[in-house]
A and B are shown apart, each in its own frame.
Chain A
Amino acid sequence: EDQVTQSPEALRLQEGESSSLNCSYTVSGLRGLFWYRQDPGKGPEFLFTLYSAGEEKEKERLKATLTKKESFLHITAPKPEDSATYLCAVHHGSSNTGKLIFGQGTTLQVKP
């Protein structure tokens, strides 16, 4: 069964304290892995798309990497405004449609 697991569920960091969020997946042929950020009461905001193992994407303090089994979202020197829930999703490998399978998310809190 296709599954996405994110860890940790919650993470508290001090401002400037770098860390990584993990997304492990089991799908029959990964066709795309997506990272989103979601603020309370809002829709998910797109961050990165990764398609193949070894691929990396960067945006400001965030860097996403992908292996054959998992993806990491590295946060370098986070600021309080980085506090949010980070969602990982994979495209259903055998599907020719837009169905995404989401992990439960990691809620990040960055304290000043």
Chain B
Amino acid sequence: KAGVTQTPRYLIKTRGQQVTLSCSPISGHRSVSWYQQTPGQGLQFLFEYFSETQRNKGNFPGRFSGRQFSNSRSEMNVSTLELGDSALYLCASSFGTPAETQYFGPGTRLLVL
């Protein structure tokens, strides 16, 4: 069974630009959660999508947004990039039952210059 895939794996952007990251969940999984990982803050929850609806959102500014498609694939978008947005962005998928195990993808490494 294929795992969670994320594209692209690496990105370099400059301040003020926007970026779109993609996540394909494990087949059959309907929930996709996004996390930001930085050395100083660790793993922080961004948002979760389930059946194309945002089910929960973390404490991030409105520049961070996402969506989910009918095939459960998800995208997250960051507009007006700031230096502090440099991080590893991880997505995780599950069937969607609360407190169920989430499986992570390899992440997208974003560097903002």
Contacts and interface: CB of A to CB of B under 8 A. Distances in A.
Interface residues of B, number: 30
Interface of B: 4, 6, 31, 33, 35, 42-45, 48, 50, 55-56, 58, 88, 90, 92, 94, 96, 98-107, 109
Nearest to A49: B101
Given A46-B104, A97-B56, 11 more contacts: A41-B107, A95-B98, A97-B55, A97-B98, A98-B31, A98-B55, A98-B56, A98-B94, A98-B100, A102-B42, A102-B43
Contacts of A49: 101
A99 B43 CA distance: 11
A87 B98 CA distance: 19
Q: How large is the interface on A (under 10, 10 to 19, 20 to 34, 35 or more residues)?
A: 20 to 34
Contacts of A34: 101-102
Contact of A96 (B35, B42, B98, B103): B98
Given A42-B106, A44-B90, A101 B100 contact: no
Nearest to B40: A104
Nearest to B32: A98
Given A43-B90, A103-B42, A104-B42, A98 B107 contact: no
Contact of B33 (A45, A99, A104): A99
B107 A95 contact: no
Contacts of A105: 42
A61 interface: no
A98 B33 contact: yes
Interface string A76-112: 0000000000010101000111111111110000000
A43 B45 contact: no
A74 B53 CA distance: 39
Given A102-B43, A103-B42, A105-B42, A97 B50 contact: yes
A31 B104 contact: no
B68 to A, nearest CB: 13
B104 A43 contact: yes
Contacts of B96: 98
A46 B101 contact: yes
